[in-house]
Structures are given as C-alpha cells and as structure tokens.
Structure 1
C-alpha cells in the first residue's frame, strides 16, 4: 500500500504556494484564471463515464512501440493517466508521485500503468528518461483518444497570448500545432474494455490520489475471485 503521509494534492498545493511567493503576479493570475475558468465552465457531461465500454485505440510508446487497448488488457486491467506535456511543472510532480505511490501496487495487482500525453514521442521521451519511470509513457497522437473521452480543453485567449510571448507556443512545445491539451484524467479499464473508475480534473493542479485508484483495481480482483468461490 502507498505511504499515506504523501499526498499529490498537497505536493501541488506546495507548488502553487511557491509560485505565489516567486512568480510574476500577472503571469500567475493568467494561470489561475485559466484553471478557474475550466472549473466553472467545463461541460462535465462530455466526460467519459464509469460503465462506458471503450472501442479500440492505439497509443505510441516513447520507445516506438504501439500500444493497443487489447495489448494493454492482455494480462489484467489497465490504468491510464492523462497528463499535459513533458515540461509541465505539475506533471513533473504528479508522475513521480505515481511512480512512488501507485506503480508498485499496480504491479502487484497485475495492472498495466500508462501515462498518456498528446506530445509527440520524440519530445515526450524526456520525462520518462529524466525520472526513470518503469511504466509506459505514450503519445496520444493528435489527441485522438482524449477527444473521444471528452477531456480536452483549449487555452483561453490570455493563456494563448502569454504562451506566444514566452516564445514557446504550446502547439510547438507539444508538436501538435494546436492549443488543445487533456485535463488530468485517470481511467481504470477492466479486461472487458469497461471503464470501472474515472476522475477528471479541470484544474491541472488537482490530481487523483493513489489510494482510490488502487482501491478500484483491488475491487476488480475481488470480483474475479467471487465466481470461483461460489463454484
């Protein structure tokens, strides 16, 4: 089980506190306003839901392998964690947290973990190498899966202007050429392709703790054992 003393939400709250103390106030306010706008205005009815059955999809692992839904489910359930891009500060806190607190438990439970971003593989590989992740990191090319799941958002005007002024428009950073990114999302998918757990965070400084993800996968194991016990 994970160390319950470590919370990804607290780690990200600490990041925000550091930004308040050190970041240019105007730049920080643009960041805050975009996150608050998403929380207020996002259409949650578009989000993928528990009980949805997923149709086949493909992701491109940063090492060049193609990950299909069927291959991810070959030996057990799959856990998909959508994140923004390799240079995202919050993602560089959240994904190492999942490496410490989630990945070992999922491995014991026979589940496959994949971190997913629309960033092109040759740029996305950096975050896997830098943190030495032992789980898959894969590109959702063209945001194809994120769009199907209803979890994409578009930079607001102020954020677009700030991104251009920085000299690093997000479409150039990701290699997608667009202003779209996925909202941080966790999916647990069973071997019948059914979504058994989903959590979408319009505010990218809010991420899912490890415990409910592990609990959802553990519940699948209990269900699988019940028919055997009944017989």
Structure 2
C-alpha cells in the first residue's frame, strides 16, 4: 500500500512546490520561472513537429548511467515500452516526478514485463546523481547532444531572462546538456512505444510543472492502478 504522500497526484505535488516558491522566492526570480513556462505553453508546437501517435521513432541506442546502453529496438523487442523524458538531475520538478513514477507506475509495468527508461540530455556523470539519489530501479539514459529530443520536437531554448539567471548562478549549459553555450533542454514527455518503434501514446508537457499522470500511461497500456488514488 502506498503512502498518502506517494499516492498524491503529480499535479498536487507540483502545486505544493509552487506554493513553497511563492512563499520563499524573490518576486523577480519567480517571475522569470513563470514567464518561461508560460511562453513554452503558448508556443508549444508552433516551431517544430512534435511527436504524436503513429509516428515511428528512429533507431537509437543511448548510454545509460550504469555503464550499459539502452536500445529502442531492444526495449520493444517483446512488446511495448515506456520512455520518460526529463530535464536534468538537479531539476526540482524532476526530483518529484521520477520518484513518483517509481511508486505509481513502475510496479505495474514491471509486473507486465514492460520496460521503462528515463531519458535526459545531461552528461552521465551528473545525470547519475538522480538515479542514485532516489535509488531508481529503472534505467536512466542520456540523450547525447539532444539528438533524440530534437528529432521528436521536444527541445526548447531558454529565454533571455532564464539564461541570464542561470549564468548569474554560475551555471553552464554543458552541465545540463553537454553542449557549450547551448541553453537547451527537452520538454518533459511520456511516450509509449510499440514494436517497430511505433508511438502508441505521446504526451508532451511544455510546462515542466504539469506532467503526465501515471494513470494516463497505464490506461494507454490497458493496465490499471492498484492500491492508490490518483485524483488531482
């Protein structure tokens, strides 16, 4: 049986984080965050072809933080697989989302022998921190150079204020995506992939504080959620 904290919806958990930020962040910093997210929602899908149901993903093999590799063809060799795209290991929302998926999604997938892999463009040495921090039981892999994210229309570029804020804190784009002076990350997304790398389900979240709930993923796979309530 999951605890009430783990069974709360992602929306509820993110709202709690929003409320904490409203209490503790300076208004200027909060405005930068909110403006970037609002811009991404407004412009979503306008400048790139975003992955959708029926698309066929290109063959791809990604390095994993455990030293192995993850091949899309291997993932779907026996049936469907789930891909979770996230931003980077230090992203507060990602540190809510991935443990949430572990508690509310992974056990159902594992019982049905459905693979799950979490994907970020962050270099492996830094990316490994989120897998270790939460003892994630599923593979975490790096999308080197944002190649797959860009192909799927997931990537976005920081606006000027967000880039300046990151630089003022001593940040470097290489620490987020391995690319020099390229402030680009994937929008969070969940993709259910069928054999042949055919997309069965795709949900892209331009606002990284509003992500796919586990029950939608399980529904796409014809599975149910046991032992937890996922009301918003």
TM-score (norm 2): 0.90
Structure 2's unaligned 5+ residue stretches are 224-232
Could you say which residue in structure 2 is the equivalent of 1:7?
9
Secondary structure of 1:46 counterpart: coil
Aligned partners of 1:147, 1:173: CA distance in 2, in Å? 15
Out of 37, 40, 49, the residue aligned to residue 38 of structure 1 is 40
CA distance in 2, matches of 1:207, 1:214: 15
**1:171 correspondence with 2:161:** no
Q: Does 1:23 align with 2:25?
A: yes
Task: Please list the CA deviations of residues 66-104 of structure 1 after superposition, one character each: whole Å capped at 9, or x if unmatched.
Answer: 211111112321100000000000000010000000000
Q: Which has the higher helix share?
A: 1
Question: What is the number of residues matched between the two proteins?
Answer: 219
Matches within 5 A, 1:135-214: 135-177=138-180, 178-214=182-218
Contact 1:85 1:118 in 2 (8 A): yes
Q: Quick check: 147-156 or 188-197, which moved more?
A: 188-197
Aligned-pair distance for 1:214? Answer: 0.8
Task: Give yes or no for the alignment of 1:123 onto 2:126.
Answer: yes
* Alpha carbons 1:189, 1:197 under 8 Å: kept: yes
2:72 aligns to what? Answer: 69
Q: Where does structure 1 lack aligned partners over 5 or more consecutive residues?
A: 220-231
Aligned-CA RMSD value? 1.7
Take 1:83 and 1:25, find their aligned partners in 2: how far apart are those partners? 26
- Residue 103 of structure 1 corresponds to which residue in structure 2? 106
Q: Does the CA-based 8 Å contact 1:117-1:138 persist in structure 2? A: yes
> Given the two structures, how large is their TM-score scaled by the length of structure 1?
0.90
SS at match of 1:104: helix
Q: Give the whole-Å Cα distance in 2 for the aligned partners of 1:153 and 1:143.
A: 10
2:61 match = 58
- Contact 1:2–1:102 at 8 Å: present in 2 too? no
